[in-house]
Structure 1
Amino acid sequence: MITLLLRVLGHQHARPMRRTLTLMTVTAVAEGLSYALLAPVLRALLGDTPGDAWPWLGAFGAAVAACAVLRFLSDMSGFRVGTSLLRGVYHRLGDHLARLPLGWYSSARVGEVSVLAGQGVLRAMSVIAHLLGPFVSAAVTPLTVVVVILGLNWQLGLAVLAGVPVVAAVQTLAGRRTVAEDAERATRDREATGRVIEYLWAQPVLRAGGRTAERFGLLDDALRQVQRASRRSALAALPGAVGLTLTVQALFTAVLGLGAYLALGGHLGAAELLTVLVLATRCADPLLSLAELGGKLRAARGELARLDVLLRTEPLPQAADPVEPAGHGVEFDSVTFRHGEHTVFDGLSVSLADGQWLAVVGPSGAGKSTLLQLLARFYDVDAGTVRVGGVDVREIGTETLMAQFAIVFQDVYLFDGTIEDNVRLGRPGATEAEVRAAAGAARLDEVIERLPEGWATPVGEGGARLSGGERQRVSIARALLKDAPIVLLDEVTSALDPVSESAVHAAVEHLVAGRTVVSVAHRLHTVRRADRIVFVDGGRIVEEGSHEELLRLGGRYAGFWELTPDPSAARPAPDPVLPPVR
């Protein structure tokens, strides 16, 4: 398990881990050896001169004090190492997740990572802080006690030593019986957590459907599965716990019987017999705790194994010798891209010169947004090449590549902070004047003026306290502040009301000025000024040209244009004049 833990955390944590393990082992050995002083203490107390016990009692007290100090030091070392490892695993996990391709983040995996990064990491790290010390003590102290008993009486020592493999076998068999059930329970726990999240997100739909009084069937099923898995896990662990208890008690009884036989035969003194019984009792207690500790350690090992699988997931490969792009033009050269079994693009080619605007239109599901994601290297293509500035995006360093893009998504996510915090994400080192200028160009200043707290207004998690149009303006201001040479726009006005759309459209005009732009749109009036428009369907470009050229062609684009409503007509009708009520 320690090997797995170090593999998850990296070998830079090996030295403090080994130091902590050594300290815990020394503490457990010292505790076991201190019990050897009971023999001379009892021998003196039961002899003719009980006063001779005082020096031995002093030595025993000193040994107990030393063990207490060692126990304190080992526990503190465990807590410190556990805290350090917790911080280390979060850093490594975060760095790794940031390098995984976007396609890896399915809804199921997002829920799994949420559970794993929360209770999974904490449970795994609690092994170091809380469980590793007791486990080492439960395993090492009894073995040390066996050595002490061997020194007192070889017959009793061999009897106790013969029981060690029996206890180990029972513990091993008990662990094997519960591994599958523990894994099943962990799986059901993750599924139930995902269903709880789904139930919370589904509240608007459930309430709109008038189902507020009904139970959510999928969640109920998941909770029932958790209940069944928990019952099976408990029942699987019961034979091992009972078997371990019976084995330890039987060994203690056998030692007691053998000790009484030796004492009655004159082969063992009363002091030695009492010492052996005390030692056997001290041996039994930690052995009995192994069942509980073993279950917790197996659960922690399961979390570590899942973390190990996640950290072994291959990220997008990085170029050994990154190349700087020469310019800001973009090109898709015979690009083929598959998502699962579905071929999204098949030999697609299109290029855009520095400073031009390319608009991508087409039916839903044609892969328009995927085209932007390939350009930003959220995925790698299966064949062909995507270039920025004449360089394959796979040969450009990640930070250099992302510095080329200002991206405005359809669904804007804002971090829980103020409006200014979210705008400054575009360029944290920007001056106040630059931030205000970006806000003005994005028409965000209109929003800030009517908010009581102005720039200090908290946006809430995901930007929940702002409307869709307001979130979009924050996103555009952030992109303007970044001042990247290439702008990627993904359906930025598709879900806005006419007033918000007009404001956002004006902000977009500032954003795209003088930059290379690739935009995806359903509302075709937003792309009439594009230098080139491509109509994508069936994994290929079926039409290409300017707005006027495509209208004259009378093909798919022209058909879409005829169905596009005129935004100038999207004004609310005046309220009807009703006759007075008599």
Structure 2
Amino acid sequence: MIRMLLRVLGHQYAGPVRRTVALMMATAIVEGLSYALLVPVLRALFGGDVAGARPWLAAFAAGVAIYAALRYVSDLSGFRAGTTLLRGTYRRLGDHLARLPIGWYAPARVGEVSLLAGRGVQQAMSVIAHLLSPYVSAAVTPLAIVAVMLAFDWRMGLAALLAAPLVAAIQLWTGRATAAADAERHRRDQDATARVIEYLQAQPVLRAGGRTAERFGLLDDALDELRRSSRRTMVSALPGILGLSLTVQAVLTALLVLGTYLALGGAIGPAELLAILVLAARCADPLLSLGEIGGQARGARAELAKLDTVLRTPPLPEPPDPVRPERHDLELDAVSFRHGDRLVLDGLSLAVPEGRRLAVVGPSGAGKSTLLQLLARFHDVDAGAVRIGGVDVRDVDTQDLMSRFAIVFQDVYLFDGTIEDNVRLGRPGATESEVRAAASAARLDEVIARLPDGWATPVGEGGALLSGGERQRVSIARALLKDAPVVLLDEVTSALDPVNEAAVHAGIERLMAGRTVVMVAHRLSTIRHADRIAFLDGGRIVEAGTHDELLRLGGRYAAYWEISMTPAD
């Protein structure tokens, strides 16, 4: 577990962890060895030499004082290291999550990441602050006590030493017996968390359907399964806890019988026998605590394993010798890309000259949004190449590449702050006049003018306090402020009312002016003036040309255009 902990934390934290572990081991050894002084104390007292016992009592007191000082220092080191490591782990996890491919964030991972970033990290890092000290003490102190027993009587010490493999075997068996139950409980925990998030997100739908008084069946089922799996976990751990307790008690009984036999035969004196039995009883306490500590350790190890798995997920590789593109034309050269088992793009090739506009249309699931994500290197292609200015995007530094793209998606996410905070994300160092100019170009100034707090208006988590059209205007203002040479647009007006659509469309026109643009749209009226239109279906370009050329062709695009222009009944 310590090796995994160091791997999760990184080499920069190895020193404090090793020092803390060394302190805890020294504390446990001093505790065990200090009990050796009980033998001469008891021997002197049984022999009626009270004066002779005093130096040994003083030595025992000194040993206890040293143990207490070491315990204080080691516990303090553990708490300090735990606090530092918790902060460092959150920072490392956040940095790593920010560098993982967007495709890694599948919907099923919402609950997993939520649990891991919350309770999981805290439980994993509590190993240093709360769990490591009792665990080391429970493992090392009994061994030190057994060494003392061996020094005074090898037969009693050997009998006590025989308990070590039995205890280790029981701990190993318990861990294996509970592994499946722990894994199931973790899966149920993830599912329950995801259902809670789903329940909260579904509130508008549930209330619109008049189901506010009803229980959410999927959530109830997930919580019931979690309760049952938690019960199975506890039941599976009971045999190990009982087995450990019975083993320790059996060893104590065996030591008592053996010691009595040796004492009656004159092999050891009553003082040695009493001291050894006291040592054996003291040895039993930490061993019995191994059952509880072992369960906590398995839980922490499971969280460490999940954290380790996430941190070992390879991010998109950075080029060793980055190249800076001099132009901003775009090209996809025989690109193939799979999402899981599904082939999304199949040998697709297209080019967008610098400063020109490409519109991509096609049925749902054709791969249009994926195409945009590959251009911005949200994923790496499985075959072929994506280029900007003739340079493979894999050869461009990630920060340099992203600085060249302004991206506006249909589903806009705003951070919990003010409108100005969210606009400034496009270029944090922009002047006030530049921010205001971007807002005006995006028609965001109209929204700000009617809000009582103006620029200081909070948007809420995800922008929940703004309407869809208002969020879209903030997103366009942010993209305008970034002033990137390449613009990617994904269905930005598909869900807006006519008033907001007109305002957003005006902002989009400002954003596209003089830039290389790739846009995806379902409303074909928004892309008729594109320099080139590509019709995508089945991961391939089946038609390409200008709007007029494709209409004259009378193919798939023409059929789509006719349907889009036909008024609904």
Structure-2-length-normalised TM-score: 0.94
Range moving further from structure 2, 22-31 or 264-273: 264-273
Instruction: Supply the distance in 2 between the matched residues of 1:477 and 1:210 (Cα, whole angstroms).
Output: 38
Counterpart of 2:12 in structure 1: which amino acid?
Answer: Q
SS at 2:518's partner residue?
strand
Instruction: Supply the distance in 2 between the matched residues of 1:489 and 1:566 (Cα, whole angstroms).
Output: 25
Name 1:508's counterpart in structure 2. 508
Aligned CA distance change for structure 1 residues 347 and 40 (closer, same or farther; 3 Å)? closer
Name 1:303's counterpart in structure 2. 303
Q: CA deviation at 1:115?
A: 1.5
Instruction: Supply the distance in 2 between the matched residues of 1:307 and 1:39 (Cα, whole angstroms).
Output: 48
Instruction: Supply the distance in 2 between the matched residues of 1:556 and 1:171 (Cα, whole angstroms).
Output: 67
Counterpart of 1:120 in structure 2: which amino acid?
Answer: G
Q: CA deviation at 1:13?
A: 2.5
Q: CA deviation at 1:298?
A: 1.3
Name 2:208's counterpart in structure 1. 208
Q: CA deviation at 1:521?
A: 1.2
SS at 1:260's partner residue?
helix
Instruction: Supply the distance in 1 between the matched residues of 2:337 and 2:139 (Cα, whole angstroms).
Output: 55
Percent identity over the alignment is 72
SS at 2:162's partner residue?
helix
Instruction: Supply the distance in 2 between the matched residues of 1:490 and 1:82 (Cα, whole angstroms).
Output: 44
- 1:381 is the counterpart of 2:381: yes
Name 1:158's counterpart in structure 2. 158
Matches within 5 A, 1:321-340: 321-340=321-340
Instruction: Supply the distance in 2 between the matched residues of 1:340 and 1:34 (Cα, whole angstroms).
Output: 61
Counterpart of 1:537 in structure 2: which amino acid?
Answer: D
Range moving further from structure 2, 237-246 or 89-98: 89-98
Q: CA deviation at 1:408?
A: 0.6
Aligned CA distance change for structure 1 residues 300 and 479 (closer, same or farther; 3 Å)? same
SS at 2:221's partner residue?
helix
Instruction: Supply the distance in 2 between the matched residues of 1:75 and 1:346 (Cα, whole angstroms).
Output: 59
Range moving further from structure 2, 247-256 or 6-15: 6-15
Range moving further from structure 2, 400-409 or 188-197: 188-197
Name 2:249's counterpart in structure 1. 249
Name 2:292's counterpart in structure 1. 292
Aligned CA distance change for structure 1 residues 566 and 513 (closer, same or farther; 3 Å)? farther
Name 2:229's counterpart in structure 1. 229
Range moving further from structure 2, 286-295 or 231-240: 231-240
Instruction: Supply the distance in 1 between the matched residues of 2:61 and 2:26 (Cα, whole angstroms).
Output: 18
Instruction: Supply the distance in 2 between the matched residues of 1:59 and 1:526 (Cα, whole angstroms).
Output: 89
Matches within 5 A, 1:513-552: 513-552=513-552
Range moving further from structure 2, 360-369 or 243-252: 360-369
SS at 1:107's partner residue?
coil
Name 1:574's counterpart in structure 2. none
Name 1:404's counterpart in structure 2. 404
Q: CA deviation at 1:134?
A: 0.5
CA-to-aligned-CA distance 1:208-265 (integer Å, 9 cap, x gap): 3343343333223322322222222212111111111111111112222333333344
Q: CA deviation at 1:51?
A: 4.2
Range moving further from structure 2, 37-46 or 482-491: 37-46
Range moving further from structure 2, 376-385 or 290-299: 376-385
SS at 2:237's partner residue?
helix
- 1:94 is the counterpart of 2:94: yes
SS at 2:350's partner residue?
strand
Matches within 5 A, 1:69-108: 69-108=69-108
Name 2:198's counterpart in structure 1. 198
Matches within 5 A, 1:423-462: 423-462=423-462
Counterpart of 1:495 in structure 2: which amino acid?
Answer: A
Counterpart of 1:204 in structure 2: which amino acid?
Answer: P
Q: CA deviation at 1:458?
A: 1.4
SS at 1:564's partner residue?
helix
Q: CA deviation at 1:496?
A: 0.9
Instruction: Supply the distance in 1 between the matched residues of 2:375 and 2:162 (Cα, whole angstroms).
Output: 68
Q: CA deviation at 1:294?
A: 0.9
Q: CA deviation at 1:565?
A: 5.5
CA-to-aligned-CA distance 1:431-473 (integer Å, 9 cap, x gap): 2222122112111122122222222221111010111111111
Counterpart of 1:523 in structure 2: which amino acid?
Answer: R
Instruction: Supply the distance in 1 between the matched residues of 2:562 and 2:110 (Cα, whole angstroms).
Output: 41
SS at 1:327's partner residue?
coil
Name 2:127's counterpart in structure 1. 127
Gaps of 5+ in 1: 570-582
RMSD between superposed Cα atoms in Å: 2.1
Q: CA deviation at 1:478?
A: 0.9
Instruction: Supply the distance in 2 between the matched residues of 1:226 and 1:160 (Cα, whole angstroms).
Output: 41
Instruction: Supply the distance in 2 between the matched residues of 1:43 and 1:338 (Cα, whole angstroms).
Output: 78
Instruction: Supply the distance in 1 between the matched residues of 2:158 and 2:549 (Cα, whole angstroms).
Output: 97
Aligned CA distance change for structure 1 residues 152 and 490 (closer, same or farther; 3 Å)? same
Counterpart of 1:319 in structure 2: which amino acid?
Answer: P
SS at 2:108's partner residue?
helix
Q: CA deviation at 1:52?
A: 4.1
Aligned CA distance change for structure 1 residues 533 and 247 (closer, same or farther; 3 Å)? same
Name 2:283's counterpart in structure 1. 283
Instruction: Supply the distance in 2 between the matched residues of 1:151 and 1:402 (Cα, whole angstroms).
Output: 69
Q: CA deviation at 1:505?
A: 1.2
Q: CA deviation at 1:93?
A: 2.3
Counterpart of 1:33 in structure 2: which amino acid?
Answer: L
Matches within 5 A, 1:25-104: 25-104=25-104
SS at 2:325's partner residue?
coil
Range moving further from structure 2, 247-256 or 153-162: 153-162
Name 2:466's counterpart in structure 1. 466
Counterpart of 2:205 in structure 1: which amino acid?
Answer: V
Range moving further from structure 2, 455-464 or 100-109: 100-109
Q: How many residues align?
A: 568
Name 1:495's counterpart in structure 2. 495
Instruction: Supply the distance in 1 between the matched residues of 2:379 and 2:12 (Cα, whole angstroms).
Output: 31
Instruction: Supply the distance in 1 between the matched residues of 2:251 and 2:291 (Cα, whole angstroms).
Output: 17
Instruction: Supply the distance in 1 between the matched residues of 2:538 and 2:302 (Cα, whole angstroms).
Output: 44
Q: CA deviation at 1:379?
A: 1.9
Name 1:115's counterpart in structure 2. 115
Name 1:572's counterpart in structure 2. none
Q: CA deviation at 1:382?
A: 2.6
Instruction: Supply the distance in 1 between the matched residues of 2:199 and 2:55 (Cα, whole angstroms).
Output: 69
SS at 2:60's partner residue?
helix
Instruction: Supply the distance in 2 between the matched residues of 1:535 and 1:261 (Cα, whole angstroms).
Output: 93
SS at 2:465's partner residue?
coil
Counterpart of 1:475 in structure 2: which amino acid?
Answer: S
Name 1:6's counterpart in structure 2. 6
Instruction: Supply the distance in 2 between the matched residues of 1:6 and 1:242 (Cα, whole angstroms).
Output: 33
Name 2:480's counterpart in structure 1. 480
Name 1:578's counterpart in structure 2. none
Aligned CA distance change for structure 1 residues 261 and 343 (closer, same or farther; 3 Å)? closer
Name 1:186's counterpart in structure 2. 186
CA-to-aligned-CA distance 1:327-353 (integer Å, 9 cap, x gap): 111112222333333333333222121
Range moving further from structure 2, 217-226 or 547-556: 547-556
Counterpart of 1:381 in structure 2: which amino acid?
Answer: V
Aligned CA distance change for structure 1 residues 397 and 373 (closer, same or farther; 3 Å)? same
Counterpart of 1:7 in structure 2: which amino acid?
Answer: R
Name 1:358's counterpart in structure 2. 358
Instruction: Supply the distance in 1 between the matched residues of 2:511 and 2:145 (Cα, whole angstroms).
Output: 76
CA-to-aligned-CA distance 1:243-290 (integer Å, 9 cap, x gap): 111111111122223333333444433333332222111100000000
CA-to-aligned-CA distance 1:395-443 (integer Å, 9 cap, x gap): 2121111111000110000111111111111111112222122112111
Instruction: Supply the distance in 1 between the matched residues of 2:2 and 2:144 (Cα, whole angstroms).
Output: 22
Instruction: Supply the distance in 1 between the matched residues of 2:241 and 2:292 (Cα, whole angstroms).
Output: 8
Aligned CA distance change for structure 1 residues 539 and 264 (closer, same or farther; 3 Å)? closer
